[in-house]
Structure 1
Amino acid sequence: MKSILVTGANGFLGKDLCGVLSSHQYQVTAITRSPGPISSSSGVKFYSIADLKSSGDWHELLKDIDTIVHTAATVHIPKNKEKELGNSFNSVNVDATNDLAQCAAVAGVKRFIFISSIKVNGEQTECSIPFTHLDTPRPQGLYAESKYLAEQKLKHICEKSGMELVILRPPLIYGKNVKANLLQLIKAIDSNLPLPFGRTENKRSLIAKENFIDLIETCIWHPKAAGQIFLASDDYDISTTDLIKLLSIGLKSSPILFSPNKRFLKASLALFSKKDLYSRLYDNLQVDISHTKRTLDWTPPFSCADMLKYTAQYWRNQNNR
């Protein structure tokens, strides 16, 4: 029985990951920075650490741990607060990751699984050529740059110590209790607002939380995972138009879609500092996971269509009682 330590255990990914690993008979130590009451799960030991850089707290917690799954990260900071809070990307995503890995190496942890981001590869793909694990990284923005820098520091630590490193780069992760842009899209569809996505022809890779958790668990035990960078997705690319249609099925709604002048829309969003939103909704971001599937003999167990409908249905059941 492997002993697993999961950081970010109260987060969107970490909470469900802890539950799944515990149900599969792993011994799970769950770490959260959240003060106050902590979610409980049968067979999971929860600990609250206010500062992930507090190496003194790690000595006992890392004792007898086989594998760390490091999901904790600073992801979203409002554009108008990047100057004020931008250093938290490096503080949490780089420095805290580095300190945890140093302590893990000293404690004899065998494997460190780092949840990075496809944004390390770049913001979008061109000419229907998907990202691969062999691409030269082209991170853009503070978040992506911090994830890439963390990857480099982890490689250095693991090369010196012999601790096995596994890097996972997922695109947008969706599922129950989804947050950020996809949540806003679900709310917009549910409100029956007209949406400017009538005939989008873009292709974007996503990954269901359940598929990503299955991949993480595979990386915990699979001997060929060591030393690898794995890209992740549902292995199915989807346009924004089809994404909305699938979410609408889960919401039991009929979306009102129209096709705007894209140049005008792009210019309008740029005026309100929302240029990145246009890219996420209209540009391509395709991920090639053939290396992941081949190396690990793994395929996503759940279909993208089913899980998108489930995501929207779960939100509807929670908010329209």
Structure 2
Amino acid sequence: MKILITGSSGYVASNLISSLKYEKIDIHTVSSTKRDVSKKHFFIKKNASQKLWDNLLESNSFDCIVHLAAQVPDSSIANDKHTYFHANYENTKKIADAAFKAGVKKFIFMSSVFVHGNSSNFGPIKEDDPFDPKNFYAESKAMAEKYLIKNFFHSKMKVIIIRTPMIYGKGAGGNWGALIKLAKSPLPVPFKNFKKNKRNFLYIENLVDFIKYIITNQVKSNTYLVADHCTLSTQSFFTLIRQAFSKPARSFYFPFLNFFLRNLNKSTYLKLSSSLEISTKKATKELNWKPKYQTAEAIKKSLL
């Protein structure tokens, strides 16, 4: 099998490539950086034309494309609609169109649970729940999904869309990196304010295992929510991190914290207090796939 992985210098892609090197798979990579992560690496600029993508895919006969290249959430460009839509919608459209014309059999697209919104107020989020994106990142991912579903779900090219929550693991940044930094400190934290919400997270090795399953098995075009099976509150997740460091939880309740955060920094307040519960029943039932690692074990592995 010959596959192409886009965004090969990114966190998910680099972990996937490391795992696939033990499989009998001919791995090729492409990114907009000149960092050579494999012996078969293509460099393509972010504004590459449709013709360039057509030529690349038509001349290489790939069986599968794993499209991981994306503009991830970044507070410094939160209002830059063009950057998000160019990277996450327009480039996805170009690559998918080129893949279809080139006869690629399988196209895997990495999306996000945030296409459904930032919270789950009425029970676990399911794949057929309506789109409700709250920012340009989520909106651009939703647009890309709609294009793929409309144009290719009933075509000869199988399209699998993967929606994920926050991804954590060794070397991950973002919110995970911030939690690690906080957990290492000896200071007590007011996380007992956030002990009733329900959130799902996704360990990088569980995600890689799911992508590998999709690559190596016969699957129909479909959309899947993927997450660790364990649903935790913000407080419980943070406590597991501190326990992995062999530190006491040191969590306390601060009476007015919710009020202050709600009024001073609503975004931070929602990240800490809201629920984002995900149903993974579809992947479990249809694919008979289950995460290899439970969250507590995964956190320990992440900190080795």
In the superposition, the TM-score normalised over structure 2's length comes to: 0.92
Equivalent position SS for 1:23: coil
Confirm whether residue 252 of structure 1 aligns to residue 246 of structure 2: yes
CA-CA distance at 1:192 after TM superposition: 2.0
3-state DSSP of counterpart to 1:256: coil
Aligned length: 301
Q: Distance in 2 between matches of 1:180 and 1:159?
A: 32
Q: Secondary structure at the match of 2:40?
A: strand
Distance 2:92 2:245 in 1: 39
Choose the corresponding residue for 2:133, options 135, 139, 148.
139
Q: Where do 5+ consecutive residues of structure 2 fail to align?
A: none
Is 1:60 aligned to residue 60 of structure 2?
Answer: no
Q: What is residue 301 of structure 1 aligned with on the other side?
A: 292
- Paired residue for 1:39? 37
Q: Which residue of 1 aligns with 2:107?
A: 112
2:277 aligned with 1:286, yes or no? yes
Evaluate the alpha carbon distance shift between residue 64 and residue 81 of structure 1 in structure 2; reply closer, same or farther with a 3 A threshold.
Answer: closer
Deviation of 1:33 after TM superposition, in Å, equals 1.4
**What's the counterpart of residue 261 of structure 2?**
269
Where do 5+ consecutive residues of structure 1 fail to align? Answer: 315-321
User: 1:77-226 residue pairs with structure 2 within 5 A?
Assistant: 77-78=74-75, 81-83=77-79, 85-127=80-122, 129-159=123-153, 161-198=155-192, 200-223=195-218, 225-226=219-220
SS at match of 1:69: strand
Aligned to 2:18: 19
Q: Counterpart amino acid of 1:268?
A: F
Instruction: Return the alpha-carbon distance in structure 2 between the equivalents of residues 259 and 148 of structure 1.
Output: 37
1:139 corresponds to which letter in structure 2? P
Is 1:228–2:222 an aligned residue pair? yes
CA RMSD of aligned residues (A): 1.9
Helix, strand or coil at the partner of 1:230: strand
In structure 1, C-alpha distance between the alignment counterparts of 2:242 and 2:130, rounded to whole Å: 37
CA shift digits 1:124-145 (9 cap, x unpaired): 1124x10111212222211111
User: 1:33, 1:52 within 8 Å by CA — same for their partners in 2?
Assistant: no
Where 2:48 maps in the other structure, the secondary structure is coil
2 CA distance for matches of 1:86 and 1:133?
25
Deviations 1:6-62 (A, max 9, x none): 111111100011121221121111112123x3334xxx5222222263334432355
Please tell me the residue identity of whatever aligns with 2:281.
Answer: S
Question: Secondary structure at the residue paired with 2:223?
Answer: strand
- Does structure 2 conserve the Cα–Cα contact (< 8 Å) formed by 1:205 and 1:238? yes
C-alpha separation in 1, matches of 2:262 and 2:83: 26
Report % sequence identity.
Answer: 30
CA distance in 2, matches of 1:102, 1:295: 27
Which amino acid letter does the alignment assign opposite residue 215 of structure 1?
F
Cα offset for 1:161?
A: 4.9
Distance in structure 2 (CA, Å) of the matches to 1:39 and 1:28: 11
Cα distance in structure 1, aligned partners of 2:153 and 2:77: 36
Residue 192 of structure 2 aligns to a residue in which SS?
A: coil
Cα offset for 1:253?
2.7
Question: What TM-score results when the alignment is normalised by the length of structure 1?
Answer: 0.88
1-structure distance, mates of 2:232, 2:31 = 34
CA contact (8 A) 1:52 1:100 kept: no
Q: Relative to structure 1, is the Cα distance of residues 160 and 131 closer, same or farther in structure 2, using a 3 angstrom cutoff? A: closer
Structure 2 residue aligned with 1:4: 3
Q: Identify which range, 153-162 or 300-309, moves more after superposition.
A: 153-162
